[in-house]
Amino acid sequence: MLYHVLAVGDVVSEPGLAHLEKTLRPLKKLKNIAFTVVNGENAAAVGLTPEQAERIYDAGADVITLGNHSFDKPQIVDFLDEHSYILRPANYTRRAPGRGWGIYDLNGIRIRVVNLIGRCNLNWGADNPFTVVDQLLTGEKTDFTLIDFHAQATSEKLAMGYFLDGRVSALWGTHTHVPTADERVYPNGTGYITDLGMTGAVESVLGVKPEQSVEMFLGGLPGRFRAPEGPVKLQGAVFTLDSATGLCVGVERVDIR
């Protein structure tokens, strides 16, 4: 049987959250989505609050993944321990709060979701994501395995795709907020895209007011990041998975404005 899994790119600030609340359920209906994973680590620009995590969940996410800003809002720490639907990278050290992976039930179909963080130009303090995920995959068997690899370098994400090809159902990248046009099924059956893109303001630099970003690159002080008003988008990808094999048969990018 085929299942459609939706992965949504990093939700940025209030415009992204409000757009997610408005568009996610109609999109799920339109694409017949069975399971949804949303990256939420920028819901408060940097980090997210428990209220924002609840809003993403109530909007229709089954699992929320995070990344380098996982703990930027200290009030999220207890929430990570208390709620199994929110994940921070699995290759953070053992002392980090929360969990990095979970197994979720979809009417008898078991789905493992793993959140990983890259180390190239991002978080050299994290454990090696390749060896951590390799170890994780020796655990309990599930029907599907989904990976959100929150990483900066396209090379690190592509290499992870080849490393896991045929062993996981789908692997997508997050963090750079710019969608890549390389969605495909890898030779051994893993669905892949280097980056999903973002959910938030269209006229922005990764969700931040362009003039603030320009000021920063000119060497000035941009002030507290603010999200622009105006048009918004939701970007992500739909992976069509086959429960007979646990692998992917098709990937389609989505961009809802």
Which residue numbers are catalytic? 69
Which residue, 15 or 118, is less far from Fe ion as judged by CB? 118
Would you state the structure tokens that stand for residue 139, as one six-digit string?
A: 């655990």
Which residue, 72 or 252, is less far from Fe ion as judged by CB? 72
- Does position 39 interact with Fe ion (CB under 5 A)? The reply is no
Q: CB under 5 A: which stretch of 68-76, 105-113, 233-241, 244-252 binds Fe ion?
A: 68-76
CA distance 146 to 131: 17
The helix-helix angle for 129-136 and 154-164 (nearest 10°) equals 30
Instruction: Report the residue count for the chain.
Output: 257
* Minimum distance, C-beta of residue 67 to Fe ion, in the bound complex (Å): 4
| Residues 232 and 52 sit within 8 Å (Cβ to Cβ) | no
Which residue, 47 or 191, is less far from Fe ion as judged by CB? 47
- Does position 157 interact with Fe ion (CB under 5 A)? The reply is no
Q: How many residues form the binding site for Fe ion (CB under 5 A)?
A: 3
**161 to each of 74, 112, 129, how far by Cα in Å?**
32, 17, 12
What is the residue whose two structure tokens read 């390749």? 130
Binder of Fe ion out of 19, 112, 175, 233 (CB under 5 A): 175
List, as one string, the DSSP characters of 33-75.
EEEEEEE-TTTTSSS--HHHHHHHHHTT-SEEE--TTTTSSTT
Binder of Fe ion out of 13, 68, 115, 169 (CB under 5 A): 68
- Does position 197 interact with Fe ion (CB under 5 A)? The reply is no
CA distance 191 to 229: 34
| Residues 31 and 137 sit within 8 Å (Cβ to Cβ) | no
Which residue, 68 or 145, is less far from Fe ion as judged by CB? 68
CA distance 65 to 99: 10
- Does position 115 interact with Fe ion (CB under 5 A)? The reply is no
* Minimum distance, C-beta of residue 73 to Fe ion, in the bound complex (Å): 14
Q: CB under 5 A: which stretch of 50-58, 64-72, 82-90, 140-148 binds Fe ion?
A: 64-72
Q: CB under 5 A: which stretch of 28-36, 86-94, 167-175, 237-245 binds Fe ion?
A: 167-175
- Does position 73 interact with Fe ion (CB under 5 A)? The reply is no
* Minimum distance, C-beta of residue 253 to Fe ion, in the bound complex (Å): 20
- Does position 67 interact with Fe ion (CB under 5 A)? The reply is yes
* Minimum distance, C-beta of residue 115 to Fe ion, in the bound complex (Å): 11
CA distance 192 to 173: 8
One-letter identity of residue 58: D
- Does position 199 interact with Fe ion (CB under 5 A)? The reply is no
Give the binding site for Fe ion (CB under 5 A): 67-68, 175
